[in-house]
Amino acid sequence: MAVALKERPCSDRAPKGAFCFRSDEPFGLEHGGSLSRLQLAYETWGALRPAKDNVILLHTGLSASSHAHSTAANDNNGWWEAFIGPGRALDTDRFFVVCTNVLGGCFGSTGPSSLDFATGRPYGPDFPIITVFDMVQAQLRLLDAMGIERLHASVGSSLGGMQSLALSALAPDRVARTVSISATARSYPSSIAARYAQRRAVMADPHFAAGHYYDGPAPLDGMRVARAMGTLTYRSGPELNERFGRARQPGAPQLGTDFAVESYIEYQAEKFARTYDANSYLYISKAMDLFDLGDGFSSLEEGAARIQSDTLVIGVTTDILFPVWQQREAARLIQEGGAPTTYVEVGAPQGHDSFLILTDDIGGPVKRHLEKR
């Protein structure tokens, strides 16, 4: 382990106990432009073997920080708390797990809310367009600094699943196993349209100020609406029906939060709006729209064929954001490209967010894939 990296704690909005990798070398981006400095917030769990051959890189979804699991410095539950630890899907008795806040994020990594050292002010809308391939290139810089030449596995769900596939295609010699859950090999019109509508809601907020809102009120109303729309793609109709039915608040009907399901949507929207940077939301969701595993190669098929790691793809039948046929397609393309590929389909009512909940149906296959000889 490169101990020097851990001597530099994160600042800003990074989770308590997170550490930062900083690079002063210019970081070029896929669609042009560059960042003069790069910072990634990261956290680790487990012990790194002297050979550095037991590393799992865990990629986050759109809105998650590096805090995937509690640590000695931060006992708050992480976003994948039940999946990480001794004997769990990502077994910390066996593996050294590394999770970063994604490039473009707002929890310690370089993003639109970070200071542009050329101006001394936040980048805001002057932040360059980034892609999923840029995100994994940044992670490769971190791995280089840690002296990690090859990963035991690259693991991710949703946007994290896109990153997992992108890293395995970009640097096939550096990944032994790949896990992609509830993701896709390229974004299709239905999810692109959903994210576009969410971005329009944010930009329509009068406090958005064309992205220059850091000295004033944040565009909270726009973020609430955007997250409410997003939540409808993260869960499923059957689950919402089972959890809430037509239950209502007591009293006469009103135009506000009347039904129990509306209160749930409102709670999720409020929590997200208060904790996440609006510009990061715009930039990262746009990166998801732009994702195509064939970018930089002659075709989608060639991009998928570059993946030579032992690959596990998991889909959920009730996923609205990335319908299950997209995971089937990804698995087929990777298998046709020559990589050993396992496809698992989960028939659960929780929809896209199943990867946050189902420790047996999703965690089980992940554990078996990571530990098989």
Catalytic center residues:
158, 319, 352
Measure Cα distances from 372 to 141, 226, 368 in Å.
28, 41, 6
CA distance 169 to 165: 6
Measure Cα distances from 325 to 28, 190, 319, 354 in Å.
34, 13, 10, 16
CA distance 135 to 115: 19
CA 358 to chain centre: 17
The answer for residues whose C-beta is within 8 angstroms of residue 232's C-beta and 6 or more apart is: 265, 320
DSSP tag of 50: T
Among residues 158, 266, 287, 288, which one has the least CA distance to residue 220? 266
Query: Residue 79 corresponds to which tokens in the numbers above?
Result: 């976003």
CA distance 342 to 311: 6
Beta bridge partners of 116: 121
Residue 112: φ, ψ to 5°: -60, -30
Query: Residue 89 corresponds to which tokens in the numbers above?
Result: 């899907």
CA distance 307 to 221: 42
